[in-house]
Structure 1
Amino acid sequence: FFSLSCLAKYPEIKSLMGPDHRLKWIVCMMVAIQFLAFYLVKDLDWKWVLFWTYAFGSCINHSMTLAIHEVSHNTAFGNNKAMWNRYFAMFANLPIGLPYSASFKRYHLDHHRYLGGDGVDVDIPTAFEGWFFCTRFRKFIWIILQPLFYAIRPLCINPKPISQLEVINLTVQLTFNVLLYWLWGAKPVVYMLAGSMLGMGLHPISGHFIAEHYMFLKGHETYSYYGSLNLLTFNVGYHNEHHDFPSIPGRRLPLVSTPCPSLVVHFPSSHYSKT
């Protein structure tokens, strides 16, 4: 109800909703950068392949997953061109190597509708994960394997029938992976897949996965982060704002919680937790 009351008090917020026309060009640039990186790593020694995988490729691929998150809310082409957004997300998925954009859309909308709901919201760790990964060492293992848990959790607690878009996503991605190996060998494929796994696991940039929904205060399911990593993550740190207004693109989320000359919108600081 908070978002409804804010819209009633600040109707100007509606002007922030709608597609971000710069998003598709940013995504295309990121995909092109990774394609260039695939070519450049093909002749490197393995030690340098692994170095650039962690230092560069994992950052780009992590950022690309959050671009797909943006596109899942139809912010690339708007709600009137929903399928354009779906296929564009598959294009953004290419340098990640793991075919997940179509499935992410389906499960992520449940995360917004039923935040924290047992058996429905698969973005939140299960009770078993909370019980078992309770020591420092086990938490360390959980962070390393976090991409694996994100992949397996939906199949265990809220499986959905496979859709046609998921089949297309799988076919397109596997075809791309095979072509990449055929053209330039194993090193670009390792750079791509390892970069995705490392970027979403044991990497500083993936700390937001924990911070966004760690329950610091009982009853508060989301928290916002306003630091510099938002520059790489399409402002996903503005997470309370995103859950209140998911149709506002990440580029405009800072305008929701801070005053600006063209749109004076300011919410009490007690609502948002800065972590």
Structure 2
Amino acid sequence: MKPDPRLIWIIIMMFFTQVVAFYLVKDLDWKWVIFWAYVFGSCLNHSMTLAIHEISHNFAFGHHKSLWNRWFGMFANFPIGVPYSISFKRYHMDHHRYLGADGIDVDIPTDFEGWFFCTTLRKFLWVILQPLFYSFRPLFINPKPISYLEVINTVAQIIFDIIVYYVFGIKSLIYMLAASLLGLGLHPISGHFIAEHYMFLKGHETYSYYGPLNLLTFNVGYHNEHHDFPNIPGRNLPLVRKIAAEYYDNLPHYNSWLKVLYDFVVDDTLSPYSRMKRPPKGQEVLE
């Protein structure tokens, strides 16, 4: 349970890699702008959202420098194009403290999502639109007063987006935004959204993933381990599993996020309702 200072340098390198990509795509045809947004930019931007997840747990600078982590989270937010780092921190801590609590944990889909996105075609559309639902769901489930850090996050992000537009042009700006929208929607890495807490097996509400995409996602696939030990950075979660193998090796887990997405879409028994929802006071209700 200690900070992972390597995060700082990895995130800085990711930031400048995306800036170089802004330069490389600025004069391409639109079809290639979108192509590279999906093939390359989407992976980088989704990975950056999971870097922000690490920062939200104060793994970059440690708990004794929590404000440093908030500022650095805003920096990591820049290549994503949409301000969310500070808001994510506020809601993600609720997810850990009140997992599945109705009206508190905004990771739980709304009743509308569960009711409407219940067929194969509609679930496919829901997967594509996941970033929009994750963005707007908190406003309907558990709206919080806007903090001064969220205002700063928003203003700083808008300034960065304007700089990208004036320095590189509209194609680079669209590349950045498309990379986030595509990377958080119908994309292999996005399988982690569903793999983490959707009950493919009744009674098992949290699952780990031990496939190769952990290399791009700061080991977010080690999700049982992360919820058990939220103060251990992703770099050390494989060690947790190794030390406590008797607790983790026999739990249901995944080796392919792509298969998770496919199974979720085609399996008629699965939908956004396939989550454990708890009343705030703790009595469990299985939907």
TM-score by length of 1: 0.90
Shift, 1:79, TM fit = 0.1
Residues 61 and 96 in structure 1, CA contact (< 8 A), matched pair in contact too: yes
Give the match for residue 276 of structure 2: none
Aligned-partner Cα distance in 2 for 1:137–1:51: 24
Aligned-partner Cα distance in 2 for 1:122–1:26: 29
Aligned-partner Cα distance in 1 for 2:80–2:8: 17
1:123-171 residue CA offsets vs partner (Å, 9 max, x unmatched)? 1212321221110000011011100000110000100000000000000
Aligned-partner Cα distance in 1 for 2:64–2:28: 45
Aligned-partner Cα distance in 2 for 1:48–1:176: 23
1:117 match: secondary structure:
coil
The aligned runs of 1:102-181 (5 Å cut-off) are: 102-181=86-165
Aligned-partner Cα distance in 2 for 1:31–1:101: 15
1:76-122 residue CA offsets vs partner (Å, 9 max, x unmatched)? 00000000000000000000000000000000000001101111100
Task: Please tell me the root mean square deviation across aligned C-alpha atoms, in Å.
Answer: 1.1
Give the match for residue 255 of structure 1: 239
Give the match for residue 247 of structure 2: 268
Report the AA paired with residue 23 of structure 1: L
Give the match for residue 21 of structure 2: 37
Report the AA paired with residue 26 of structure 2: K
1:267 match: secondary structure:
helix
Match of 1:233 among 179, 194, 217: 217
2:157 match: secondary structure:
helix
1:27-50 residue CA offsets vs partner (Å, 9 max, x unmatched)? 000001001101111111111111
Structure 1: segments with no counterpart, 5+ residues: 1-16, 260-264
Q: Aligned pair 1:85/2:69, yes or no?
A: yes
Report the AA paired with residue 252 of structure 2: S
Aligned-partner Cα distance in 1 for 2:40–2:201: 35
Aligned-partner Cα distance in 1 for 2:225–2:19: 33
The aligned runs of 1:40-79 (5 Å cut-off) are: 40-79=24-63
Aligned-partner Cα distance in 2 for 1:43–1:145: 28
Aligned-partner Cα distance in 2 for 1:168–1:267: 46
Give the match for residue 13 of structure 1: none
Give the match for residue 11 of structure 1: none
Shift, 1:266, TM fit = 3.0
Aligned-partner Cα distance in 2 for 1:217–1:78: 36
Shift, 1:184, TM fit = 1.4
Give the match for residue 284 of structure 2: none
Give the match for residue 271 of structure 2: none
Aligned-partner Cα distance in 2 for 1:38–1:270: 42
Structure 2: segments with no counterpart, 5+ residues: 255-287
Give the match for residue 166 of structure 2: 182
Residues 116 and 221 in structure 1, CA contact (< 8 A), matched pair in contact too: no
Residues 61 and 95 in structure 1, CA contact (< 8 A), matched pair in contact too: yes
Give the match for residue 4 of structure 1: none
Aligned-partner Cα distance in 2 for 1:61–1:126: 26
Shift, 1:216, TM fit = 2.2
CA change 1:219–1:127 in 2 (3 A) is farther
Report the AA paired with residue 251 of structure 2: Y
Residues 54 and 198 in structure 1, CA contact (< 8 A), matched pair in contact too: yes
Report the AA paired with residue 115 of structure 1: L
Aligned-partner Cα distance in 2 for 1:221–1:127: 18
CA change 1:70–1:269 in 2 (3 A) is closer
Report the AA paired with residue 89 of structure 1: G
Match of 1:196 among 171, 177, 180: 180
TM-score by length of 2: 0.86
Report the AA paired with residue 106 of structure 2: V
Report the AA paired with residue 253 of structure 2: K
Q: Aligned pair 1:205/2:189, yes or no?
A: yes
Q: Aligned pair 1:97/2:81, yes or no?
A: yes
